[in-house]
Amino acid sequence: MIKCPSCGKTYSSVSSLVKHIRLKGKYDAVHEMIWNEFKAFETSLDDDSFTETDAFREFLMRKGLYKMRKWEFASST
């Protein structure tokens, strides 16, 4: 479970949260700010092999808003 940093709504996966923030960012200023900050972060990544979901997960981890679980780490390597 992961919470939206803008509104606090809970999602079961990072990909669902990405969709939520992308969609809400079109008409809500706070979500738009998070989305724009993420897009700036995404362009600064050196590794092009990140999917949008992986990049968003990394963005949240660097902001201290997400902690990867042990089983997620094992499946991502």
Interatomic CA distance for residues 77 and 15, integer angstroms: 19
The whole-number pLDDT of residue 64 equals 85
Residue type at position 27: Y
pTM of the model: 0.79
Longest dimension (CA), the chain: 37
Q: pLDDT (tens digit, 0 to 9) for every residue of the chain, 77 residues total?
A: 889 999 999 999 999 999 999 999 999 999 999 999 999 999 988 777 889 999 999 999 988 877 766 545 445 54
Residue type at position 30: V
Please check whether residue 56 is in contact with residue 13, taking contact to mean a CB–CB distance below 8 angstroms: no
37: its two tokens = 């900050």
